Chains A and B, each alone.
Chain A
């Protein structure tokens, strides 16, 4: 009796394998490659899309914006992901960038801090160590404590590229999550940090940059400067496969907007 049961089980498993592999053969794949900062946006879009279209698989290879753009040029993926606008020479080389969403980065300080506005230049000077005391920007006397994210983080990459402080930041703490940054800033009166706009809560004070408060509207209008585009990069000459085009259109549709917003970015459509 036990033997029969065992054989039946083995047969069932084998059958499962055959059917599963059969199914994956007919599955269509959309490959995306690029920016690590777009992970949550592309991840949630892919998940939602695959739920509606079970025969499509959307893959995502987190390699960084530069690698993603190169991957499209070399035809290694369908859609490249870049968290910066394409350079002119990249467009000239036959690439098209379609902005999917905008990502706002909030500059946060402790609630006790009297400073409420900084210019982009002041922020950059703080992070590179030129301005070291809050009194220099109209605050109380106290050494500025710079809180940032770990190397490789998309938010750090975004913040440093917007402020032009790549590899120059003199961080006091490098934390591994947005939540840790907010908690740390909320416990140190002299701290300043940056975090994705959607994650910021009342426990810290969000600064205005050049007099503009970050919000969905000011990010969309471009008035709030600490922001960057999330771009889908495709080849201008070669058309996307039918499956990839369908996913591309879905990502830009109004249907996808709440999903993008849920992932912490500001959708364009």
Chain B
């Protein structure tokens, strides 16, 4: 009996350690980012760092203003949400309620594949097809732009938006719909006036997850956005928070390197904000 209990204890302990690895990683990353990100902010000045409009890290008189990156990340993410969420949402409604079984199976398979494509592949396709495409369609000198990044991000967030919305739509009790139909509503009315409101919190979760995915993406964006530290504009070459860190890290030194860590800290703060929002949504949906 005792041996059995000891065995249980040992196993519990092992699982605790495994759990602590995840917690520990988060702690280590947070502490490291704060420690390595703060000195540059202190040296440059918080206001100048966050609201400075010029980034010239290797110039003779370096300037470290990251407002262009912050705004680009916000605009790019917002754009991806505006383009991607309606597509994803209606696709989810279709899959959950209207699609024939066969179509549903094929589409879900495709969405699974879409979710599994590595971001560098999105970037490559974007670079070779989308960027020249934008150049020709809109008759601009170069297609690498905020618009290209928004399109790539919109496609990249589709799988998570569709999957999470789909799950929440499917979880709406059948009785709600039956009641609505019995009262004489058409099925489309039922879906949009009964099912969708009932699945509201799941759909919000999907949107927030999409925001998280879009704001954190670096590789694909780096390949299509042009990476010049301009203030964001749809057809201009722009640099995101993520790409600002990734593109200069390899050769950076001194204050430039520290400033890159500070950018990462700002990005980390954004992600935290998104996670907090997600938590609030989940809490609320539980209490309702």
Minimum CB–CB distance for B228 against chain A, Å: 5
**Interface contact B227-A173, CB-CB below 8 Å:** yes
Interface residues of A in 185-219 (CB under 8 A from B): 187-188, 190-191
Q: How far is the CA of A173 from the CA of B248 in the complex (A)?
A: 14
**Interface contact A62-B247, CB-CB below 8 Å:** no
- Which of A64, A142, A145, A154 neighbours the largest number of chain B CB atoms within 10 Å of its CB? A145
Closest to B236 in A: A172
Interface residues of chain B: helix, strand, loop or mixed (majority): loop
**Interface contact B142-A176, CB-CB below 8 Å:** no
Interface residues of B in 250-271 (CB under 8 A from A): 250-253, 256
The yes or no answer to B106 lying at the interface (CB within 8 A) is no
Minimum CB–CB distance for A249 against chain B, Å: 29
Minimum CB–CB distance for A121 against chain B, Å: 22
| A180 neighbours in B (Cβ, 8 Å) | 127, 223
Interface residues of A in 105-155 (CB under 8 A from B): 142-145, 150-154
| A176 neighbours in B (Cβ, 8 Å) | 222, 227, 246-247, 250
Q: How far is the CA of A22 from the CA of B171 in the complex (A)?
A: 66
From A64, A153, A157, A187, B253 is in contact (CB under 8 Å) with: A64
**Interface contact A167-B142, CB-CB below 8 Å:** no
The yes or no answer to B237 lying at the interface (CB within 8 A) is yes
The yes or no answer to A65 lying at the interface (CB within 8 A) is no
The yes or no answer to A175 lying at the interface (CB within 8 A) is yes
The yes or no answer to B144 lying at the interface (CB within 8 A) is yes
Interface residues of A in 153-169 (CB under 8 A from B): 153-154, 157, 166-167
Interface residues of A in 49-68 (CB under 8 A from B): 62-64, 67
Q: How far is the CA of A65 from the CA of B144 in the complex (A)?
A: 32
Interface residues of B in 140-171 (CB under 8 A from A): 141-144
From A144, A152, A175, A183, B58 is in contact (CB under 8 Å) with: A152
**Interface contact B248-A188, CB-CB below 8 Å:** no
Q: How far is the CA of A157 from the CA of B223 in the complex (A)?
A: 21
**Interface contact A145-B256, CB-CB below 8 Å:** no
Q: How far is the CA of A174 from the CA of B244 in the complex (A)?
A: 11
Q: How far is the CA of A168 from the CA of B105 in the complex (A)?
A: 55
Minimum CB–CB distance for A205 against chain B, Å: 17
Minimum CB–CB distance for B147 against chain A, Å: 14
Minimum CB–CB distance for A196 against chain B, Å: 14
Q: How far is the CA of A171 from the CA of B141 in the complex (A)?
A: 13
**Interface contact B128-A187, CB-CB below 8 Å:** yes
Known: A62-B251, A63-B253, A167-B60. A172 touches B144 (CB 8 A): yes
Minimum CB–CB distance for B178 against chain A, Å: 55
The yes or no answer to B52 lying at the interface (CB within 8 A) is no
**Interface contact A187-B131, CB-CB below 8 Å:** yes
| A167 neighbours in B (Cβ, 8 Å) | 56, 59-60
Closest to B223 in A: A180
From B228, B247, B252, A172 is in contact (CB under 8 Å) with: B228
**Interface contact A174-B127, CB-CB below 8 Å:** no
The yes or no answer to B226 lying at the interface (CB within 8 A) is yes
**Interface contact B222-A173, CB-CB below 8 Å:** no
The yes or no answer to B39 lying at the interface (CB within 8 A) is no
The yes or no answer to B132 lying at the interface (CB within 8 A) is yes
Minimum CB–CB distance for A48 against chain B, Å: 23
| A36 neighbours in B (Cβ, 8 Å) | 251
| A142 neighbours in B (Cβ, 8 Å) | 141
Closest to A148 in B: B228
Q: How far is the CA of A8 from the CA of B227 in the complex (A)?
A: 55
Known: A36-B251, A174-B226, A184-B144. A152 touches B256 (CB 8 A): yes
From B59, B135, B251, A153 is in contact (CB under 8 Å) with: B251
Q: How far is the CA of A152 from the CA of B127 in the complex (A)?
A: 23
**Interface contact A188-B253, CB-CB below 8 Å:** no
The yes or no answer to B187 lying at the interface (CB within 8 A) is no
Known: A62-B253, A180-B223. A174 touches B228 (CB 8 A): yes
The yes or no answer to B190 lying at the interface (CB within 8 A) is no
Closest 8 pairs (CB-CB, A-B): A152-B251, A143-B141, A173-B226, A151-B58, A167-B59, A145-B142, A174-B227, A150-B247
Sample (10) of A-B pairs whose CB atoms are under 8 Å apart: A150-B247, A152-B250, A166-B60, A171-B228, A171-B237, A172-B141, A172-B237, A174-B239, A174-B247, A187-B128
**Given A64-B253, A173-B226, A184-B144, 7 more pairs with CB closer than 8 A:** A145-B141, A150-B247, A151-B56, A152-B251, A153-B251, A154-B251, A188-B135
